Amino acid sequence: MASGSNNSNTPVVVQARQALKRFRDEVANELNIDTSKIQGDYWGYLPSRDAGAVGGHMVKRMIEAAEHSLVEQSAAQVRTGFYQGLNTSSSYTQGGQQGMGPQQNTGMGNTGKGINLT
């Protein structure tokens, strides 16, 4: 792409443009790439090997961030389900089932020696 031509790499979220530029520059610095050949937003004088390394590391880190986000979302859903299950369980042991008292819902039969769930 010639210097001064329009950039066709428009981000999906326009507000992210500056953050992506900072991220790109951060990755280039971490990889010890000579950024003196970069003129403004024009990277054409930089060897394609270096530019590709920057792009590759950016993608790698974005995928890692997305994976961490998915793990956190899954953990939050598990916690929510767990707490909902506890709430359902506690209402069940507090008379939600007719004819069963807390001593009978211990998982130890009628001995009354199990753990009281209420």
Q: Which of 11-25, 49-63, 64-78, 96-110 bottoms out in mean pLDDT, i.e. has the lowest?
A: 96-110
Domain extents in the chain: 14-97
**Structure letter (DSSP) for residue 95:** I
pLDDT in tens, 71-115: 988 888 888 888 888 887 665 555 555 544 444 444 445 545 555
Q: Residue 41 corresponds to which tokens in the numbers above?
A: 């937003």
Compute, in degrees rounded to 10, the torsion defined by CA atoms 24, 28, 31, 34: 170
Q: Residue 33 corresponds to which tokens in the numbers above?
A: 């790439």
Q: Could you tell me the maximum CA-CA distance found in the chain, to the nearest angstrom?
A: 84
Q: Answer yes or no: pTM beyond 0.75.
A: no
Q: Residue 38 corresponds to which tokens in the numbers above?
A: 């970069």
pLDDT at 22: 92
pLDDT at 74: 87
Which residue carries 């979220």 as its tokens? Answer: 13
